[in-house]
Structure 1
Amino acid sequence: MSGSPNITLSSAIDMIKRKRFILAAFFLVLPGLLAVAPVVEASVADKDKQRRNYLYALEAVRGGNYERYKKYYRQLKDYPLQGYVHYYYLKKRLDKTPAREVQKYLQANRHSYNGYLLRRDWLKYLARRGRWKAFIQEYGDGEDLKKSRKITCYYLKYKIRHSENKAAVMEQIGKVWLYGKRLPPACDTVFNSWRRAGHMTSDIVWQRIELAMKRRRLSLVRDLSKYLGVKDKVWVKRWIAMHKNPVKELAGIRYAVDSQRARNIVRHGVVRIGYRDPEVAMEKWLQLKKKYNFFGEDDNYVNRWLGILGAQNHLPESLDWLSAVSASADDKRLLIWRVKAAIYLQDWGRVKQFISALPVVMRQEEKWRYWQARALEQTKEKREAHQIFAEIATNRSYYGFLAADRLKSEYNMQHDNIEATPEEVSAVLAMPGIQIAQELYHSGQIVPARRQWNWYLRRMSNRDLQVAALIAQQWGWYDRALYTANKSDHLDDLDIRFPLAYREQIVSNARKANIDTNWMYGIIRQESAFMKDVRSSAGALGLMQLMPRTGREESRRLKLNVRSRSEILKVKNNLLLGASHLRTVLGRHGDNQMLATAAYNAGSHRVKHWQPEKKMAADIWTESIPFNETRNYVKNVMAFTTIYMYRLGKNIMRLQSRMQAVEGKKPKK
C-alpha cells in the first residue's frame, strides 16, 4: 500500500492550531513512568510558529518561489525540519550548488530520509559529470545503495577504469546482468565493456532471457536477442510465439524437437495452457510425450507445474501428478503444494508422508506441526496428535488457537506491556531521526513522517525499537506503533499491536450494520493496520481499504452523498461504508464469517468458485485457498478477531465456532 498525498498547507496549519494545547508537552505521561513537565505556553507558541514557517517554506520551494522560500528557511534555524525542507531546494540546483555546500548538507542531514535521497541524487549527478573522485568518496562502502541499480552501474563503471582486480569487477557485472527486468541505461556502458572483454556468452544471454520470460517481459526478451546469433534469434521468436499462443503453436510444431531448447519451448507452451486448464494441458502433454519421447527432466517439469496449478484448482488428479515428481529439498513450492493437495483430498496417509519429506527446518514450523497432528488424529494416533497440539496451543496464533480447540483448552494470549524508563524515552526522543519524524507528524505531513520513521528504524537497536513503539503509541500514531513493535522482538504488548483506535465509531458502525465489532477490528488491522490515509496500488482507500466503486455502491444503498475518493477516505465515511460492505458480503455467503472474510479480499465470485464438491472442514478449506495473499489474509483476520475479543473484554468465541464448515456445491438441476 502506498500513502496518500500530503494534506494541504491550510489544513495542516489549522491542525497545528487545534493541537496547540494538546501538544503542550513534547511527551505526556507514559504508563508506569514519571510525567515529563509540560513546556511553558511561550515555548508551545514558538513550536507552532516554526511548524507554520516550515509549511510556508515547503509551499514556496515546491512552487519555485525561492525568495519567499529563503525568507522562511532562515527562520527555521535549529528546527529539526530545516534540513528536511532544504532538500527540495538543493535537488533542483545541484548544478549550481558548490560541492562543499552539498557535502556539508549531507553530513548534517545523515539522519534524514531526505538527506539519503539527496545523497543518491548527488552520486548520480557526479557520475553523469564524470567527477569520479568525488563520486567514490561519497559512495563509501555503498551498503545503503545496493537497491539502486543505476548507482551500482555507475560504481562499476568507475571500477572498470580504476580497479586492479578486473576479474572481480567482471564477475560483479555478471551478477548485475542476471536480472529479469529492464535495467537502467546507465548500465549499458558497463555491459558493453563486459561484452568486449568476452564475458557476454550466448549461455549467459540465454540465462537472462529465461529470467525475463519468467517475468513475461517479452519486449526485453526481444531486445536481448540482438546479442545472439542468427539461429538462436529464431528460437527466441519461436519461444515468444509459443508464449503468446500456445494452443496454435503446439497444434502445428514446424521444427525438430530434438534439442533441449526445442523441448523447453514445447513444455513452456504446455504449462501456459495449464494456467487456463490443467486437465487440458495434461492431456496435450501426454500426446506430445508419446510423439516426441519426452521423459526425465521434461516430464518432471511439466508434472510439477501442472500438479501445482491443478492443486490450486482443486483437481483430485493433481495429487498423483505431484507425487510423480522427483522432488528436491530446495523446491519449497513443490513440497508445500504436495502437502496442500493431500490435505484438500483428506488423504491423511500422504499428508504424513509429504510432511515427513519436508526439510527439518520447515517441518518444525507451526503450520506443518499442526497438520502433522491433524493427520495423526485422523489415522487413530491420538496420543501423538494431542502431544503436538499441546505444544502448539501455547501460541497466540491462528494455528495455536486451532490446536487449543482440538484439545478444548484455554487460549493463551500472553499479554505483556512494553515498559521504559524516563531516561530511555528521553534518549529515543533525542535521536535526530526521531525528532524529524515527530515534527513531520505533528505538522500534518503524515506520509513524509511515515517514510522518515520507517527509514530511521533500520539503524535502531531492538530495545530502542520497543521504546519508539511506546512513543508512537502515546502520540496516537497507531500504525507506526504497531509496525515498530512488530520490528522488535517484543511481540506480546497487545495494547500496541492491537490498538482500540476509533473505538466509539467502530462499535457504533458495527452495531448499525449488525456485524461483529471484533471482526470489523480484525479486518481493519489486516487491511490498513490503522493507516487512515492509506491508498493501495489497486486504488483501495482508507482504514477499510474500500475500492471507490464499492464505496459509491454502499453510499447509494445507504442513501448518502459520498462519491469522491477524498470523501470515501475520511474516517467517518470509511468506517460507515466499510461496515455496510461487510454486512453485504456476509449476507452473500450465508453469514459465514470465514467465507465473507475471503470474499472481502478476493471477491465473492472467486470464493464461490472455490466452493468444494462436498462439505468441508473450515481449516482444510482455508489451507487450500489458491491465492497466497487471501489464504494468509483469512488466517490473520480470524486470529486478529479472536485477539480483539480479548482486547475488548468479551467472552472469547472459539475459532471452531467462528469458522463454520463450508457447504458443498449444490447439484445442478
Structure 2
Amino acid sequence: MKIHRILTPLIAALALAFALPATAQNAADEVLLTMQKAFRKGDRAQLAALLPQASGHPLEPWAAYWELRARLEEASEDEVQAFFRRWQGSYVEDRLRNDWLLILGQRRDWQRFADTLPAFRMRDDRDVRCYALLVEHLEGHAPADAGAQVLANWQAQRRSSDGCARAAAQLLADGRIRPIDVWRKARLGAESSRVAQAREAVQVVAPELLAQMGQALAAPTKYLTLGSGGKGTAAKGKGAKRKVAPVHREAQTQPSELVTLALVRLAMSNYTGAARLLGDTWSGHLSAEQRNWVWGAIGRQAALSLSMDAMAYFAKVTREADLSDDMLAWKARAALRAGDWKQVARGIDAMDEATRADSTWVYWRARALLAGQPSPEERARAQALYARIAGTSGFYEQLALEETGAHIAVPAPPAPPTAEEKAAARANPGLNRGLYAILIGLRGEGVREWNYSTNLHTPGGMNDRELLAAAEFACAQEVWDRCINTSERTKGFIDVRQRFPMPFHDAVLRRTREIGLDAAYVYGLVRQESRFIMDARSHVGASGLMQVMPATARWTAKKIGLEGFSTDQLNDQDTNIAIGTAYLKLALDDFDDSLPLAAAAYNAGPGRPRAWRNGPVLEAAIWAENVPFNETRDYVKKVLANTVNYAAILTGQPQSLKERLGKIGPRDAQRPEREPDLP
C-alpha cells in the first residue's frame, strides 16, 4: 500500500522529524506490516527476528508491543516493567498493562494486580473492572454497590469472562448478589444464542445443573415436552394450530429456571409455540418473575416479527420491572406501532434511568404525554423533554428541535484553531503515530492510538479547542473518519466543516445532477457507510465510498450500461460513486421516493423493507423505530439526520426532517413494482 500523503514532522516525543515521499513505500513500514501479520498468526519467532529492524521507526512501540504480547504469559515481571518504563505514557504501555492485569487476575495474583492497577489509565476493560471490585471485596473495602457494578459489567459482556464470572461467584457466595441476578445472566445468554455465556452463569449459580441446561438449550421443545414421546409437540410455525400434548407429571420436577431457559430459547425461533407451552403447561410451575420474563421474551420476538399480537403477549406481564430494558424497548416500539400511547409511556417509565435518558425514549415519552387530550402540566412536561434533547446532531434531536418550533440550520462556526493550537496537534506524538499507522495500512492500530490521545480520561486528553485542532489535523490529511469522529466529541460548539465534510464534491454533485438524485442524501449515506474512506471494506465484502456489494455492483453496472466493469474497480472513486448513486436512485424509484425505505433497502437489501412496510400506515419515524435489525434501524436514522444537515449546508437554508419522512405503509396493490428484480 502506498503512503499517499506527506506527513508533518512525526513523533516529536521521540525527537524524530521526517517526512516520507508520497510515492515511496518505506522498507521499514513493510517490517511493521509484516509484524502485524505475524502477531495475528501468533508467530513468535518471526516477531523476535523482525523486532530489531523496527528500531527507530515511528511505530516501534507497536512492534515492541506485538513481540512481548505474543509471549506475555511466559514473560517475567522485569520484562513487563521494563516495557512500561520504555513506552511510558503511550497507548501501547496502557494496552499492555490491560493485558497484564487480565493475566494477573486469571492467576489470582491479587497483590500484584492491586499494585499494577493504579497506573492503568483507560479503565475500559470490563473484566479488569470486575477483578478490581473482587480485590476490593476480598480486602473488605468494596463499595456498597459492588454487586450491582459486577452484574452490570458482566451482563454487558458478549463473551465468556473469567473476571466478572469469578467476581460474581464470590459475591454470590458472600450474599452481595442474589441467585436470580445470575440466572438473568444465563437467560440473556440463551436469548442471544450465546450458549457459552449461559453455561458460564449456570456454572456460577448451579453447576450441578449444567448437563440439564445443555439439553434445555440444545432441544428446548423436547426438554419441555418430556414424557410425550420426545417428538417435540410445540407448534412449529408461527401460525400453526397444533395442539400441545400433555406433559408427563414427572417432567414437572424439572428445575423452574431451566424451564425458563428452555422457554426463552424456544421463543427465539417459535414464539407462538413457546406461548402455547407456557400458557397450557408450564405457567403454574414458574414464579411470577419467571413468567413475566418469558412473556417479555415472547412479546419481544412477536414485536421483532412486526406481529400485531405483540401487545397481547406483553399484556400478560404483571410487572414491567421484571423485564429487561431490551424487552421494554420492544414493548414501547410495539405500542407505537399499535398507537397505544399509554403502553408506550408504561414501557419507557419502567426502563432504567440510563436507558430512559437516551434521546429515543425522551422523544417518545414527550409524544406520549401529548397524545389524546393533554393537560397544561403534561404539555409543559413534554416541552421540557423536547428542550432537553433538541439539537441538530441526531435523528431524535432534530425531531425534538422541530417540535419546539425551530428548523435545522447550520450552527454558527467556532473560532478556527489558532496557529498555536494547530502546532500543538501536529506535535502530538500519539496523533502522529495514529495518522502514520492509518496511512500505511495499520488502520486498527492507528484508530486506537488516535482515540487514546484525544480521550479526556488519559494523559494529554483533550478539551474542546484541542479536539477542534486535532480534527483539523486529520481533515488536512484527509483521514475523514478521525476528522468526523473527533469533531463530534466537542460539546460547546459544532464545526460543520469537520463533522459533515464533502470530499469528492464536484464528482458527487455532477453525478447527482445527471441522474436527478439529492446530493445531500448521497452525502448523508456515504458519511454513514464509509466515513469517506476510499478503501473501506466491510465484513461482508462491500467496498469503497458507497460500500457496494460485488453482486449488486455487477447488476447495477449492467443496468446502467457501464461497459467493461469489473468489481476491482469499486475502489475507484468515480466508478464507486457511479455505481452507488445509480443503485440508490433505483431503490428510491422502487420505494416511491421514500428516503427511509430506500436507505433501509441500501443497507439490508430491498426484500426486507418490502416486508417491513406491510401492516398499518405509520409515521415514518415510528416505522423506522420498529425496523427489526438493530444495524438497519440505526442506519436509517443516521442517514436521514445526516441528510438534513448536508441539505442545510448545501442550500444555506433551514431544513425539516419531518418533511422528508412522510408516512409508510403497504404498496398499492394495483401498482406493480417498478423494479421487481432489484437485488
Per the normalisation by structure 1, the TM-score is: 0.74
Q: CA deviation at 1:470?
A: 2.5
**Which residue does the alignment assign to 1:429?**
426
- Which residue in the other structure is 1:35 paired with? none
Deviates more, 1:233-242 or 1:494-503: 233-242
Task: Show the counterpart of 2:306.
Answer: 314
1:474 and 2:480 matched? no
Matches within 5 A, 1:120-135: none
Question: Cα distance, 1:489 vs. partner?
Answer: 1.6
Q: Which residue of 1 is the match for residue 41 of structure 2?
A: none
Secondary structure at 2:511's aligned position in 1? helix
Q: 1:512 to 1:432 in 2, by over 3 A?
A: same
Secondary structure of the residue that 2:651 maps to in structure 1?
coil
Alignment of 1:557-596 (within 5 A): 557=559, 558-564=561-567, 567-596=569-598
Of 614, 617, 642, the match for 1:615: 617
Greater alpha carbon shift after TM alignment, 346-355 vs 382-391: 382-391
- Distance change (3 Å), C-alpha of 1:616 and 1:212: closer
Tell me the equivalent position of 2:278. Answer: 285
Matched, 1:240 2:217: yes
Q: What is the deviation of 1:595? A: 0.7
Residues 647/106 of structure 1: CA separation in 2 closer, same or farther (3 Å cut): same
User: Identity of counterpart residues, as a percentage?
Assistant: 23
**Corresponding letter in the other structure for 1:52:** N
Contact 2:94 2:122 in 1 (8 A): no
* 1:256 matches 2:230: no
Q: Does 1:493 align with 2:495?
A: yes
Structure 2 counterpart of 1:299: 291
Unaligned runs of 5+ in 2: 11-16, 39-44, 226-231, 235-243, 672-679
AA aligned to 2:32 is: L
User: Which ranges of structure 1 fall in alignment gaps of 5 or more residues?
Assistant: 1-6, 28-42
**Is the 1:242–1:249 Cα contact (8 Å) retained in structure 2?**
no
State the alpha-carbon separation in 1 of the partners of residues 452 and 113 from structure 2: 23
- The aligned residue for residue 644 of structure 1 is 646
* In structure 1, C-alpha distance between the alignment counterparts of 2:297 and 2:46, rounded to whole Å: 59
Counterpart-to-counterpart distance in 2, 1:236 and 1:663: 43
**Secondary structure at 1:256's aligned position in 2?**
helix
Amino acid at match of 2:450: W
CA contact (8 A) 1:466 1:490 kept: no
What is the letter of the counterpart of residue 626 of structure 2?
Answer: S
- Residues 178 and 211 of structure 1 are in contact (CA less than 8 Å); yes or no, is this contact kept in structure 2? no
In 1, are the aligned partners of 2:409 and 2:648 still within 8 Å (CA)?
Answer: no
| Structure 1 Cα separation of the partners of residues 408 and 99 of structure 2 | 52
- Structure 2 partner of 1:536: 538
How far the C-alpha of 1:659 sits from its partner, in A, is 1.9
1:395 aligns with 2:391: yes
Tell me the residue number matched to 1:454: 451
Q: Deviations over 1:275-320 (max 9, x none)?
A: 3454454344332257x57673343223222222223333333224
The residue type paired with residue 295 of structure 2 is: N
Aligned CA RMSD, in angstroms, stands at: 5.2
Paired residues of 1:348 and 1:378 also in contact (CA < 8 A): yes
What is the identity, as a one-letter code, of the residue corresponding to 2:334? A
Structure 1 residue matching 2:26: 3-state secondary structure:
helix
Which of 292, 306, 325 lines up with 1:332 in the alignment?
A: 325
Instruction: Choose which of 118, 139, 147 in structure 1 pairs with 2:125.
Output: 147
The residue aligned with 1:32 is none
Task: Summarize deviations over 1:504-549 as a string: whole Å, max 9, x none.
Answer: 2222333344322111111111222223333333333332222333
Instruction: Sort the Cα spacing of 1:478 and 1:385 in 2 relative to 1 into closer, same or farther, 3 A.
Output: farther
The CA distance in 2 between the partners of 1:118 and 1:620, in whole Å, is 46
| 2:105/2:163 contact within 8 Å kept | no
- For 2:291 and 2:104, how far apart are their aligned partners in 1? 53
Q: 1:293 to 1:488 in 2, by over 3 A?
A: same
| Residues paired across the two proteins, number | 625
Work out whether residues 190 and 265 of structure 2, in 8 Å CA contact, stay in contact via their aligned partners in 1: no
> Are the aligned partners of 1:373 and 1:384 in contact in 2 as well (CA < 8 Å)?
no
Higher radius of gyration, 1 or 2: 1
Counterparts of 2:342 and 2:165 in 1: how far apart (Å)?
55
Answering whether residue 87 of structure 2 is matched by residue 109 of structure 1, we say: yes
Of stretches 416-425 and 649-658 in structure 1, the one that deviates more from structure 2 is 649-658
Conserved in 2, the CA contact under 8 Å of 1:585 and 1:600? yes
Partner residue, 2:372? 379
* Aligned-partner Cα distance in 2 for 1:386–1:191: 45
How far apart are the structure 1 equivalents of 2:121 and 2:364? Answer: 41
Counterpart for residue 238 of structure 2: none
Residues 104 and 402 (structure 1), Cα distance of their counterparts in 2 relative to 1, 3 Å cut: closer
* Residue in structure 1 matched with residue 412 of structure 2 by the alignment: 415
Q: Distance in 1 between matches of 2:108 and 2:355?
A: 50
* TM-score, with structure 2 as normaliser: 0.73
Answer whether contact 2:186 2:198 (CA < 8 A) is retained. Answer: yes
- Relative contact order, higher structure (CA 8 A, sep 6+): 1
Summarize deviations over 1:242-286 as a string: whole Å, max 9, x none.
437668165564463545x53344444444443345445434433
Describe the SS at the equivalent of 2:593.
coil
Offset at residue 362 of structure 1 (A): 6.2
Q: Structure 2 counterpart of 1:110, which letter?
A: Q
